[in-house]
Structure 1
Amino acid sequence: MNYENILATSENGIATITINRPTKLNALNKATIEELHTAFDTLDKDHSVRVIILTGSGDKAFVAGADISEFANFSVSEGAELAAKGQSSLFDFVENLKTPVIAAVNGFALGGGLELAMACHFRIASDNAKMGLPEVSLGVIPGYGGTQRLPQLVGKGKAMELIMTAGMLTAEEAKASGLVNHVVPQSELVELATTLAQKIMKNSPVAIGMAIEAINANFKDGIDGYAVEIKNFGDAFGTEDFKEGTGAFLEKRKPVFIGK
């Protein structure tokens, strides 16, 4: 499929989505959010795709934020609709994908860009990356899940400080706070993302999807994460991957998972 604002490729089970608006530092506008939803939805339904890597074009920015020109004159109701639609169609959607998504943060990840990275299942960063939620400096607050996901990842106090000061973390500070898992030189970022994806691909896709659902359940109001874990653990026993995985272990061979 051809896109105007993103690039999507797939090779050897690893798909890469690149936000491709370099003249705008890959800022998110409505069209880009819609294209990202379509790309993630399409790849998640493609059983040949085992891992998705999300990154930005160029060497300056993953996503430098939302496209402020699109909503500078919005009313109260329009602002609320913007946040609700964005969360539903992209940010919550990515978080709940069964296919693992790695954010490869190459440069600035600010505002909606950091919110998008946080919606991914985990994050790695180049050593020149800087991350923050500067929305209060514009008289608004994070609207794509930032006030919820940042405290989950770095703790309430640190999130309060970052949001209230509109400050930025360096890549190493982000790693120290638990916001990203690894920091490497920018030239090694794609290589690391690919290495991690290949490690993930050795394991059962259906089990990974069940694990994602169970982990996410812990952070959702009104849902007992332990109950979801118990159900998904039991359901795993009925999969072909379980039979393959246990059989391979007992037969002392490498498993060949099919994701069923």
Structure 2
Amino acid sequence: MNYENILAVVDDHILTITIDRPKKLNALNRDTIQELHECLKDAREDKDVKVVIITGSGEKAFVAGADISEFADYSPKEGKRLSADGQNKLFDYVANFPKPVIAAINGFALGGGLELAMAAHFRIASDNAKMGLPEVSLGVIPGYGGTQRLPQLVGKGRAMEMIMTANMIDANQALQYNLVNHVVELAELEDFCNEMAAKILKNSMCAIKGAIKAINANYEAGKNGFEIEIEEFGRAFGTEDFKEGTSAFLNKRKADFPGK
């Protein structure tokens, strides 16, 4: 499928999605959110895609925020719908995606950009990256999951400070806060993410899908993460991956997981 705002390339089971609006510092508008949703929806069903990497074009920005010009004159009802639609189509969709999603943060990740990165399963930042949720400086709050995911990652106090002050933090501070998993030089970011994806690909994608579901359950209201873990643990015993994994271990060879 051809897109106007993103680039999508599959290589060795790794789908790299690049948000490609460099003149707008890759800001998210409605069309970009829709294209990301459609691309991920296709990737969900594509058996050739096993890991997803999301990044931004150029060296300045991952995503510098939402496209404010689209909603500057919205009513409260329209604003509520904007938040709900965005979370449903993209941010929650990414967080609950059954295949690993890595955010490769190359430069600014602000507002909706940081919210997208936080929705990914983990984050790798370039050393020039800067992150923040500056929404209160515009008279609004983070609306794409930022008030929920930031405290989960950095703790309540730091999340309150970041959101209330609207300040940016650099990559090393983000690493100290546990907001990102790794910081690498910008020139090494793509290779590092691909190497991380390659490590993931050696393992059972069925098991990883179950692990994603179980981990996420701990952060969802009304769900008991331990119960979901038990359920997914039991489900794994019925997969061909489990048979292959245990057979390989017992026979002292490398597993070749069929992914089912």
**Corresponding residue for residue 35 of structure 2:** 35
- For 1:36 and 1:123, the matched residues in 2 are separated by 18
**Corresponding residue for residue 172 of structure 1:** 172
- For 1:37 and 1:199, the matched residues in 2 are separated by 26
- For 2:177 and 2:201, the matched residues in 1 are separated by 27
**Corresponding residue for residue 211 of structure 2:** 211
- For 1:154 and 1:68, the matched residues in 2 are separated by 26
After the TM superposition, which parts of structure 1 deviate over 3 Å for at least 4 consecutive aligned residues?
A: none
Amino acid at match of 1:86: G
**Corresponding residue for residue 60 of structure 1:** 60
- For 1:178 and 1:63, the matched residues in 2 are separated by 20
- For 2:37 and 2:251, the matched residues in 1 are separated by 42
- For 1:199 and 1:135, the matched residues in 2 are separated by 36
- For 1:209 and 1:141, the matched residues in 2 are separated by 32
- For 2:23 and 2:4, the matched residues in 1 are separated by 13
**Corresponding residue for residue 108 of structure 1:** 108
Cα RMSD, aligned residues only: 0.4
1:184-203 maps to which residues of 2 (within 5 A)? 184-203=184-203
In structure 1, the residue corresponding to 2:161 is in which secondary structure? helix
- For 1:12 and 1:200, the matched residues in 2 are separated by 12
- For 1:131 and 1:151, the matched residues in 2 are separated by 14
- For 1:34 and 1:53, the matched residues in 2 are separated by 17
Does residue 235 of structure 1 match 2:235? yes
- For 1:257 and 1:6, the matched residues in 2 are separated by 31
1:17-65: per-residue Cα shift (whole Å, max 9, x none)?
0000000000000000000000111112111111100000000000000
- For 1:78 and 1:258, the matched residues in 2 are separated by 46
Identity %: 67
After TM superposition, the structure 1 stretch with the greater mean CA deviation from structure 2, 62-71 or 250-259, is: 250-259
How far apart are residue 189 of structure 1 and its match?
0.1
1:190-242: per-residue Cα shift (whole Å, max 9, x none)?
01000000000000001000000000000000000000000000000000000
- For 1:252 and 1:48, the matched residues in 2 are separated by 28
In structure 2, the residue corresponding to 1:222 is in which secondary structure? coil
After TM superposition, the structure 1 stretch with the greater mean CA deviation from structure 2, 46-55 or 117-126, is: 46-55
Number of equivalent positions: 260
Amino acid at match of 2:55: T
Does residue 146 of structure 1 match 2:146? yes
TM-score, structure 1 length as denominator?
Answer: 1.00
- For 2:38 and 2:125, the matched residues in 1 are separated by 25
Unaligned regions of 5+ residues in structure 1, if any? none
- For 2:258 and 2:127, the matched residues in 1 are separated by 36
